[in-house]
Every structure is written in C-alpha cells, then in structure tokens.
C-alpha cells in the first residue's frame, strides 16, 4: 500500500515508468472524466487496454483515498506497491 499522498503528475510519471518497463504504452482518453479529471489507459503492443486510472487536473496532492485507489487499480498489472518503487 502506498505511503502518503501523491500529486497527479507523480502518479502519471510512475505509471509511465512501470508501463515502459513492461513494454506497454500510456494514453489519455479524449474528453473523458468529469470537470478537470482525466482518464489514462495502459495499452499493450496490440492496443488492447490493460488498465485505467482517473487523475485530477489540479495541482497539489491528491487525497490519500484517491492515491490508494489509483495504486489499487493497477496493482494486478504492475505488482503490489508499484507506486512506491
């Protein structure tokens, strides 16, 4: 489980790093999410969606609940504790 909170930019950077390590890509879905929120998907080499997360569009730290939710959403793909690596 992730320790503390992360900003949306920190989470996205970690997602991209883990995806690259596995040979996957990360893309933002156009016009998805509410308000300033954005949806990001992880795709394999064939373009098949492997996972997705929602990130806030504002600066600053996300709440601990949102940070943990993002970590949990991709845990099956990246492994336990991937956000702290």
DSSP track, 19-44: HHHHT-EEEEPTT-SSTT-EEEEEE-
- If one compares 26 and 34, the residue with the highest pLDDT of the two is 26
Instruction: Classify residue 84: in a domain, yes or no.
Output: no
Instruction: Classify residue 28: in a domain, yes or no.
Output: yes
Which domain CATH number covers 63?
3.30.160
| Separation of alpha carbons 26 and 3, rounded Å | 24
pLDDT in tens, 3-24: 788 999 999 999 999 999 999 9
Q: Determine the structural domain holding residue 16 and report its residue range.
A: 8-78
pLDDT in tens, 27-77: 999 977 777 889 999 999 999 999 999 998 888 999 898 899 999 999 999
What pLDDT does 6 receive? 93
Instruction: Classify residue 37: in a domain, yes or no.
Output: yes
Provide the number of structural domains found in the chain: 1
What pLDDT does 75 receive? 96
Instruction: Classify residue 83: in a domain, yes or no.
Output: no
């Amino acid at each position: 489980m992730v320790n503390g909170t992360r900003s949306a930019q920190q989470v996205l950077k970690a997602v991209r790093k883990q995806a690259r390590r596995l040979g996957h890509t990360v893309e933002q879905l156009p016009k998805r999410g509410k308000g300033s929120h954005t949806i990001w998907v992880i795709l394999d080499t064939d373009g098949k969606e492997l996972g997705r997360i929602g990130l806030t569009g504002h600066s600053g730290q996300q709440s601990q609940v949102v940070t943990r939710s993002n970590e949990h959403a991709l845990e099956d793909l990246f492994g336990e504790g991937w956000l702290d690596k």
